[in-house]
């Protein structure tokens, strides 16, 4: 299981993120405490590093632990990619690392993958 963050349960308090959610690479602040709701479902998220450039079939992994954010302006700092199907992918607003999660256009909800960010 790729995103079996060892102690992810300790990051949850009353269903929300206990600590700040930051970029793993540059520590840019993405979410402040208690602004993401813990959600679990399966999603095929493209890998941050791809083996080939400009490939229409990106390498993906199955990710299942997310912070759900209902309104995009809840984010402190985040980037939204161009649209792919029903989604936009989320990136760090500073170093462009991503996808750190995705935005679902029909429901207007955004999901940050626990395994793609750090909690501090």
Check residue 72 and report its DSSP letter: G
Q: Shortest Cβ distance from residue 56 to another protein (Å)?
A: 9
Q: How far is the CB of 114 from another protein (least distance, A)?
A: 19
Name which of 12 and 48 has its Cβ closer to another protein.
48
**Looking at beta carbons, which pairs linking 92-96 to residues 24 or more positions away fall under 8 Å?**
92/23, 92/25, 92/26, 92/28, 92/30, 93/28, 93/30, 94/23, 94/26, 94/28, 95/23, 95/25, 95/26, 95/28
Q: Residue 7 or 98: which CB sits closer to another protein?
A: 98
CB of 58 to another protein, least distance (A): 5
Q: What is the arrangement of strands in the sheet containing 117-119, beginning at the earlier edge strand?
A: 29-31, 21-23, 117-119
Tokens of 27: 């520590």
CB of 108 to another protein, least distance (A): 14
66 vs 89, which CB is nearer to another protein? 89
C-beta of 31 vs 65, nearer to another protein: 31
Give residues in contact with another protein (CB under 8 A).
Answer: 22, 26-29, 32, 35, 46-50, 53-55, 58, 70-84, 88-89, 91, 93-99
């Amino acid at each position: 299981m790729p995103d079996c963050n060892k102690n992810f349960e300790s990051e949850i308090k009353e269903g929300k993120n206990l600590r700040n959610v930051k970029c793993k690479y540059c520590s840019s602040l993405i979410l402040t405490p208690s602004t993401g709701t813990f959600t679990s479902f399966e999603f095929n998220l493209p890998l941050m590093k791809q083996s080939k450039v400009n490939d229409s079939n990106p390498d993906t992994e199955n990710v299942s632990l997310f912070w759900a954010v209902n309104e995009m302006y809840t984010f402190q700092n985040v980037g939204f990619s161009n649209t792919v199907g029903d989604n936009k992918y989320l990136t760090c607003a500073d170093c462009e690392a991503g996808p750190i999660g995705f935005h679902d256009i029909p429901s207007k909800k955004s999901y940050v993958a626990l395994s793609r960010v750090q909690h501090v």
